[in-house]
Amino acid sequence: MEDLVAEATRKQIADKGAFVKKAFTPTLDLQSLDERVTTIAKQELAKKEAKQDIYFQFDECIKTKERKVRTNGKV
């Protein structure tokens, strides 16, 4: 796990804890570490870019309001 934290620091990943959780597996070996780190970093970047999308923001707003909508005075 120390190697994962070091890689996250080296690649300037903001949420190191989430990165380590996603990248760690009990069978992870150091030779495949760079490939796994690159894959996880790309996924995190794609997720961050998706959050900046206007449609993503609309969907999130709708999700927060779903349970607050009433019909005919009933919940």
Token pair recorded at residue 35: 């490939």
Q: Is the pLDDT confidence value at 72 over 70?
A: no
Q: What is the pLDDT of residue 36?
A: 77
Q: Is the pLDDT confidence value at 2 over 80?
A: yes
Residues 6+ apart with CB under 8 A from 72: none
Q: What is the pLDDT of residues 9-60, one digit of tens each?
A: 887 877 888 878 887 888 877 677 778 778 877 887 788 777 777 887 888 8
Q: Residues 11, 41: contact at Cβ < 8 Å?
A: yes
pTM: 0.46
Residues 6+ apart with CB under 8 A from 41: 11, 13, 19
Token pair recorded at residue 47: 């997720």
Q: Where are the domains of the chain?
A: 2-68
